[in-house]
């Protein structure tokens, strides 16, 4: 029983940290997009090059945000499996076979 509680506590911590990373990635992605929009307003080749890099960074951060969201959902699914006892049943099936 203590092991299940330790696992649930660890999953809760990981879930919380994934949510924080998702929020940070979303915020940084928004800032990068704003920089792109500002830098493309200038008629200067080097600034446009920097803007393109900012746009690429915004896309990557957006992908990271989606990855964090997907992992947080998986963690939540595992926690529900533990709560409903499904995880213990699966482990017993594995041990039997």
pLDDT value, residue 54? 94
Average model confidence (pLDDT) across the chain: 90
| 39: pLDDT strictly greater than 80 | yes
**Stretch (H or E) spanning 84:** helix 45-84
pTM, to two decimals: 0.77
Contacts of 71 (CB under 8 A, 6+ apart): 18
d(CA 48, CA 59): 17
What distance, in Å, lies between the first and last C-alpha atoms of the chain? 23
d(CA 39, CA 53): 11
In which band, very low, low, confident or very high, does the pLDDT at 91 lie, cut at 50, 70 and 90? low
In the chain, % of residues over pLDDT 90: 77
pLDDT value, residue 69? 96
């Amino acid at each position: 029983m203590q092991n299940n509680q330790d696992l649930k506590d660890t999953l809760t911590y990981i879930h919380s940290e994934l949510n924080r990373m998702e929020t940070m990635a979303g915020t940084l992605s928004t800032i990068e997009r704003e920089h792109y929009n500002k830098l493309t307003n200038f008629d200067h080749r080097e600034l446009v090059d920097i803007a393109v890099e900012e746009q690429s960074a915004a896309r990557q951060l957006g992908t990271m945000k989606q990855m964090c969201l997907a992992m947080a959902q998986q963690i939540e699914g595992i926690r529900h499996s533990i709560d409903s006892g499904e995880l213990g049943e699966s482990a017993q099936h594995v041990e039997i076979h």
